[in-house]
């Protein structure tokens, strides 16, 4: 009614004032450190790629840095250095040892850095939540199954694992053995050896195994460096077709072995996806939000959350038919 | 100025203006405020209610959009499709066509035949291949066309974007408006881009969500993005245009009103929960006020009726108060000029009635006092003068003195003494004018004195008798009411008769009044003469003629005691005349006691 008022509109009722959402309101980008168990193996390189992809998509600063050997002492040094030198918002770590890292992580937390774990967990008090790739039980039992398919559920086999302190590896080992005891009485586990995620060491360990057990029927690689090393070993020893190799490995290092029927199947998840998810959830945590069950994460899809553990998805089997589809 | 002007107006005008102001101003102010409040409350109610509906609609639309956003996820369930999308090189055409067939079929099964009927078409642009499935077979898009309307490269950073229909050079049968959803297909495992998926969705889901808002009225409803571009509009021609006013709209979840005089619209708006989209609802205020206007018109009619009624009432009231006063004023003017016959008839009991009554009684009092103290006095004086005149009338004096002289000659000493004494007593009674009212006995004895003197003159020709049946000392009558009547009877009687008998009777009649009958057996009067005299008596003229004596008596009685009293004559030619005097019984004792 007031024709003289200068405003062209007169608010009659307002429940709230809309604050315009600006696209890049977090101009102060978060700084996130992703620490793998070890640098420069294909698996963790793929994680790095995924993490960097996410850093680009989500506009955060990601520092990807880890020890050169999969060893908790070196990892602690890396963590301490990162916490000291970088003004971190979130530290996401794949722990080589569930206990040894705790003091460093606690210290980081005291300095205001939020800590999560991925790939390999620490004790729960050391972190906010753990990003697991797959359910441990599912993976462990599946690894055992894949070997059983390849050797008709009978014969001798050995397991090659990474660092014998790594929590995730030990968890899988437990479920591999569990599945073995429950369903495959005709199979015999001869030895479980650790190779510390070192390709060179893994190769030596594989050779030793082949020499020690000439009638060995299969090897389960419980760490991503194990299957390629074992494959290389049996190829060199001329035992192709005699010793079946299954286990955890990325498709790219295994491509050639799969195509040449040296190895029939390896199992893994997408480490790129893991890297991407880790960065996405780190950013979300930096903003103060925790993941929840069935949450849709852009670029990753839906995740599951079980208490303080995030489960990324299901394991993927790579065979010579599908291995070309994957690039990590 | 106005006040002074007003002060000098007539009372009626003042009262009318005051009454009208006192009724019209409060009623109009009250009416205006009530209407204002009513419209404001409607405005507020609607202003509060519509955004809630909008919020609900937004939530519905948003949920629907979220459902649509999730549509591409279904694709990940088909590993075959993902496998095809991951490929980027082909050995031969048949392999390419096989893959196209596979993906197109899957898209059709997933989205077109079993999915939401609002999905018009699904397209996947992947590594220079276009897979598609659409409702209408005639829609066939070249792969070259796609980048042209989308720009060269698409990098959605994993997100979902919406393209408005007019931004895409794509038409579906029926030309129904649609939204083009664009979603990056990501290879989660390899963290690579598989391609981009486009889903054309008919806008009818927005229409459906907004239906609740359009139920009873016909508002404009629209959706805009953050730039004010119409995503949806109830007028389909507007879709894709930019709302020029958008930047000026207050950024609130709520309602606002245009302040333009001519086009008064109520606009409600609500922001989408998770996007920079806004929904709007615009309705002209007059549309809202349709029902209110009935109330307003009713109020106006009631107002007019009240104004007319109050004006009539105020005129009546003012007239009622001022008219008697006006009458009173004019009557007072007449009274001022000496007319005391005025009367202000008033049966009211209010202050004006009381005033009129007081005025009436005051005028009566004045009139009475004037009559009492002035006219009666005057008449009385006349009567006294007349009596004196009649006694010192040269003729009467001469005859009396001559009679006395005869008596002296014949040495009738006692008679002389008696006559002189009577004459002296008569003169003294005439001259003594201290009182107007005297005991009957005094006037009777004066009359006797007069008759006695006349009998000395006319000897046997006059006979008289006086009978008094009342206490003549106790009751009072005016002075000189008997003598003029008797004098009249003697004068006319002896003119034409040899002898005359006069009988005076003073009695109390059945109404407890004093009745004096003076009967003579003189010549009497012709009927015409009698009529003339009776008319003269009833007219109460102040003329002086032969019947002066009778008239004087009549007038004085009337003046002193009222209309019902007075003098009457009954006569018949050859038989004589009777004169009746009717008076109230005036008690001497009571009178003294009162005064």
Please determine, for residue A128, whether its predicted confidence score (pLDDT) is greater than 90: yes
Q: Is the CB of residue A176 less than 8 Å from the CB of residue A248?
A: no
pLDDT of residue A24: 46
Inter-chain CB proximity A325 and B86 less than 8 Å: yes
pLDDT of residue A180: 94
Q: Could you report the per-residue pLDDT of B206-249, keeping only the tens digit for each?
A: 888 887 777 667 788 888 888 888 888 888 888 878 888 888 88
For residue B107, give the DSSP letter: H
Inter-chain CB proximity B51 and A15 less than 8 Å: yes
Which residue in the block uniquely carries the two structure tokens 């014949």? B410
**The length of chain A, given as a count of residues:** 328
Pairing of strands A130-132, A114-118: parallel
| Interval B511-537 mean pLDDT | 88
Which residues of chain A are within 8 Å of residue B255 when distances are taken between CB atoms? 11-14
Residue B324 distance to chain A (closest CA, Å)? 50
- DSSP-derived 3-state class of residue B519: strand
Please determine, for residue A118, whether its predicted confidence score (pLDDT) is greater than 70: yes
Structure ipTM: 0.78
More confident of the two residues B151 and B473: B473
Distance, first Cα to last Cα, chain B? 59
Which residues of chain A are within 8 Å of residue B260 when distances are taken between CB atoms? 3, 8
Inter-chain CB proximity B43 and A12 less than 8 Å: yes
Percent of chain B topping pLDDT 70: 87
pLDDT of residue B390: 61
Q: By the CB < 8 Å criterion, does A52 face chain B?
A: no
| Range of lowest pLDDT (A227-236, B191-200, B207-216, B296-305) | B207-216
pLDDT of residue A13: 83
Inter-chain CB proximity A273 and B188 less than 8 Å: yes
More confident of the two residues B363 and A171: A171
Residue A181 distance to chain B (closest CA, Å)? 33
Q: Is the CB of residue B579 less than 8 Å from the CB of residue B485?
A: yes
Q: Is the CB of residue B126 less than 8 Å from the CB of residue B196?
A: yes
Which residues of chain B are within 8 Å of residue A47 when distances are taken between CB atoms? none
Q: By the CB < 8 Å criterion, does A49 face chain B?
A: yes
Inter-chain CB proximity A9 and B44 less than 8 Å: no
More confident of the two residues B12 and A203: A203
Residue A1 distance to chain B (closest CA, Å)? 6
| Interval A243-265 mean pLDDT | 91
> Would you state the structure tokens that stand for residue A216, as one six-digit string?
């060995």
> Would you state the structure tokens that stand for residue B440, as one six-digit string?
């009957």
Per-residue confidence at B507, pLDDT binned at 50, 70, 90?
very high
pLDDT of residue B385: 64
Disruptive mutation site among B41, B85, B91, B188 for chain A (greatest number of A CBs within 10 Å): B188
pLDDT of residue A4: 46
What's the rounded Cα separation, in Å, for the pair B143 and B126? 10
Which residues of chain A are within 8 Å of residue B191 when distances are taken between CB atoms? 49-50, 53, 270, 272-273, 275-276, 299
Give whole-number Cα distances, B195 to A107, B131, B225, B345, in Å.
44, 10, 26, 111
For A264, residues 6+ apart whose C-beta sits below 8 A from its C-beta are A150, A244, A245, A246, A258, A319, A320
Which residues of chain B are within 8 Å of residue A303 when distances are taken between CB atoms? none
Of A1, A13, A301, the CB nearest to B255: A13
Distance, first Cα to last Cα, chain A? 69
Q: By the CB < 8 Å criterion, does A15 face chain B?
A: yes
Q: By the CB < 8 Å criterion, does A16 face chain B?
A: yes
Of A15, A272, A298, the CB nearest to B254: A15
Which residues of chain B are within 8 Å of residue A3 when distances are taken between CB atoms? 259-261
Of B44, B251, B261, the CB nearest to A17: B251
More confident of the two residues B392 and B563: B563
Which residues of chain B are within 8 Å of residue A326 when distances are taken between CB atoms? 189-190
Q: By the CB < 8 Å criterion, does A288 face chain B?
A: no
Q: Could you report the per-residue pLDDT of B91-110, keeping only the tens digit for each?
A: 788 888 889 899 988 988 88
Q: What angle do CA A241, A245, A247 make, to 5 degrees?
A: 165
Q: Could you report the per-residue pLDDT of B13-69, keeping only the tens digit for each?
A: 887 788 778 878 888 888 888 888 888 888 888 888 888 888 888 888 888 888 888
What's the rounded Cα separation, in Å, for the pair A41 and B342? 136
Residue of chain B with shortest Cα separation from A276: B191
Residue of chain A with shortest Cα separation from B73: A301
Q: How many CB pairs under 8 A join A and B?
A: 111
For residue A220, give the DSSP letter: E
Which residues of chain A are within 8 Å of residue B76 when distances are taken between CB atoms? 301
For B313, residues 6+ apart whose C-beta sits below 8 A from its C-beta are B19
pLDDT of residue A232: 92
Inter-chain CB proximity B256 and A10 less than 8 Å: yes
Q: Could you report the per-residue pLDDT of B163-182, keeping only the tens digit for each?
A: 776 666 666 766 677 888 88
Inter-chain CB proximity A20 and B276 less than 8 Å: yes
Please determine, for residue A189, whether its predicted confidence score (pLDDT) is greater than 90: yes
Of A7, A8, A299, the CB nearest to B158: A299
> Would you state the structure tokens that stand for residue B561, as one six-digit string?
């005691």
- 0.80 cut: is pTM over it? no
Could you say which residues from 136 to 175 on chain B have a Cβ atom under 8 Å away from some Cβ of chain A? 157-159
Per-residue confidence at B503, pLDDT binned at 50, 70, 90?
very high
Mean pLDDT, chain B, integer: 81
What's the rounded Cα separation, in Å, for the pair B72 and B106? 12
> Would you state the structure tokens that stand for residue B169, as one six-digit string?
């050079």
Pairing of strands A9-17, B252-258: antiparallel
Inter-chain CB proximity B191 and A276 less than 8 Å: yes
Residue of chain A with shortest Cα separation from B266: A12
Please determine, for residue B145, whether its predicted confidence score (pLDDT) is greater than 80: no
Q: Is the CB of residue B75 less than 8 Å from the CB of residue B82?
A: yes
Per-residue confidence at B563, pLDDT binned at 50, 70, 90?
confident
CA atoms within 13 A on the CB side of A261: 3
Q: Is the CB of residue B119 less than 8 Å from the CB of residue B143?
A: no
Percent of chain A topping pLDDT 70: 95
Q: Could you report the per-residue pLDDT of B329-348, keeping only the tens digit for each?
A: 888 888 888 777 777 777 77
Could you say which residues from 496 to 555 on chain B have a Cβ atom under 8 Å away from some Cβ of chain A? none
Per-residue confidence at B540, pLDDT binned at 50, 70, 90?
low
């Amino acid at each position: 009614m007031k024709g003289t008022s200068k405003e062209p509109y007169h608010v009659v009722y307002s429940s709230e004032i809309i604050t315009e959402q600006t696209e890049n309101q977090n101009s102060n980008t978060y700084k996130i450190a992703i620490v793998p168990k070890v640098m420069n193996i294909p698996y963790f390189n793929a994680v790095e790629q995924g993490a960097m992809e996410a850093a680009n998509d989500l506009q955060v600063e990601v520092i990807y840095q880890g020890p050169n050997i999969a060893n908790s002492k070196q990892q602690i040094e890396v963590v301490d250095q990162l916490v000291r030198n970088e003004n971190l918002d979130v530290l996401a770590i794949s722990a080589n040892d569930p206990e040894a890292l705790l003091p460093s992580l606690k210290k980081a937390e005291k300095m205001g850095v939020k800590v999560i774990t991925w790939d390999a967990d620490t004790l729960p008090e050391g972190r906010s939540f753990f990003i697991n790739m797959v359910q441990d039980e599912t993976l462990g039992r599946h690894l055992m199954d894949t070997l059983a398919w390849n050797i008709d559920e009978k014969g001798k086999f050995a397991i090659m694992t990474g660092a014998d302190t790594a929590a995730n590896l030990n968890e899988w080992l437990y479920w591999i053995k569990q599945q073995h005891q429950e369903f495959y009485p005709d199979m015999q586990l001869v030895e479980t050896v650790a190779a510390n995620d070192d390709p060179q060491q893994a190769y030596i360990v594989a050779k030793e195994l082949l020499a020690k057990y000439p009638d060995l029927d299969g090897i389960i690689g419980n760490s991503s460096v194990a299957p390629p090393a074992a494959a290389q070993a049996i190829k060199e020893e001329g035992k192709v077709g005699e010793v079946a190799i299954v286990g955890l490995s990325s498709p790219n290092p295994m491509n050639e072995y799969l195509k040449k029927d040296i190895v029939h199947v390896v199992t893994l998840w997408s480490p790129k996806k893991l890297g991407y998810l880790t960065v996405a959830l780190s950013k979300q945590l930096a903003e103060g939000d925790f993941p929840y069950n069935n949450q849709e994460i852009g670029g990753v899809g839906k995740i599951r959350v079980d208490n303080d553990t995030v489960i990324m998805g299901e394991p993927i089997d790579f065979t010579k038919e599908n291995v070309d589809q994957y690039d990590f | 100025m106005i006040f002074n002007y007003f002060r000098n107006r007539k009372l009626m005008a003042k009262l009318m203006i005051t009454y009208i102001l006192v009724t019209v101003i409060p009623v109009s102010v009250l009416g205006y405020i009530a209407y204002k409040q009513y419209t404001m409350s409607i405005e507020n109610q609607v202003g509060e209610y519509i955004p809630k509906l909008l919020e609900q609609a937004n939530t519905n639309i948003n949920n629907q959009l979220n459902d649509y956003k999730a549509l591409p996820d279904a694709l990940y369930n088909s590993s075959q499709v993902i496998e095809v999308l991951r490929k980027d090189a082909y050995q031969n055409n048949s392999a390419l066509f096989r893959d196209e067939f596979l993906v197109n079929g899957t898209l059709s099964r997933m989205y077109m035949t079993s999915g939401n009927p609002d999905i018009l078409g699904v397209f996947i642009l992947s590594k220079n291949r276009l897979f598609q499935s659409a409702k209408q077979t005639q829609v066939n898009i070249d792969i070259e066309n796609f980048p042209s309307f989308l720009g060269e490269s698409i990098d959605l950073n994993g997100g979902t974007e919406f393209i408005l229909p007019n931004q895409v050079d794509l038409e579906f049968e029926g030309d129904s408006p649609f939204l083009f959803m664009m979603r990056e297909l990501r290879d989660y495992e390899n963290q690579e881009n598989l391609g981009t998926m486009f889903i054309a969705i008919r806008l009818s889901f927005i229409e459906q969500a907004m239906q609740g808002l359009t139920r009873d009225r016909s508002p404009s409803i629209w959706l805009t993005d953050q730039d004010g571009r119409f995503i949806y509009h109830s007028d389909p021609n507007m879709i894709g245009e930019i709302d020029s006013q958008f930047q000026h709209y207050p950024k609130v979840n709520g309602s606002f009103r245009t302040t333009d005089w001519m086009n008064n619209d109520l606009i409600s708006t609500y922001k989408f929960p998770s996007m920079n989209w806004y929904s709007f609802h615009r309705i002209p205020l007059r549309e809202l006020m349709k029902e209110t206007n009935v109330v307003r018109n009713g109020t106006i009619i009631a107002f007019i009726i009240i104004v007319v009624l109050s004006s009539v009432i105020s005129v009546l009231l003012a007239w009622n108060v001022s008219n008697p006063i006006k009458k009173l004023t004019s009557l007072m003017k007449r009274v001022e000029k000496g007319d005391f016959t005025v009367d202000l008839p008033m049966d009211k009991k209010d202050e004006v009635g009381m005033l009129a009554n007081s005025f009436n009684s005051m005028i009566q009092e004045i009139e009475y006092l004037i009559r009492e103290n002035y006219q009666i006095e005057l008449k009385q004086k006349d009567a006294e003068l007349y009596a004196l005149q009649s006694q010192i009338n040269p003729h009467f004096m001469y005859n009396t003195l001559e009679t006395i002289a005869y008596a002296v000659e014949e040495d009738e000493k006692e008679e002389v003494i008696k006559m002189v004494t009577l004459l002296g007593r008569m003169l003294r009674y005439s001259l003594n004018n201290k009182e107007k009212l005297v005991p009957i006995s005094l006037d009777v004895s004066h009359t006797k004195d007069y008759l006695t003197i006349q009998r000395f003159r006319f000897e046997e020709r006059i006979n008289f008798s006086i009978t008094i049946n009342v206490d003549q000392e106790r009751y009072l009558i005016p002075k000189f009411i008997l003598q003029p009547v008797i004098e009249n009877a003697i004068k006319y009687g002896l003119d034409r008769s040899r002898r005359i008998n006069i009988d005076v009777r003073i009695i109390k009649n059945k109404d407890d009044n004093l009745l004096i009958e003076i009967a003579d057996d003189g010549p009497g009067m012709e009927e015409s003469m009698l009529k003339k005299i009776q008319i003269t008596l009833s007219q109460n003229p102040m003329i002086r003629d032969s019947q002066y004596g009778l008239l004087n008596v009549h007038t004085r009685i009337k003046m002193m005691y009222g209309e019902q009293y007075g003098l009457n004559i009954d006569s018949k030619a050859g038989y004589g005349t009777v004169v009746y005097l009717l008076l109230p019984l005036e008690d001497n004792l009571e009178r003294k006691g009162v005064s």
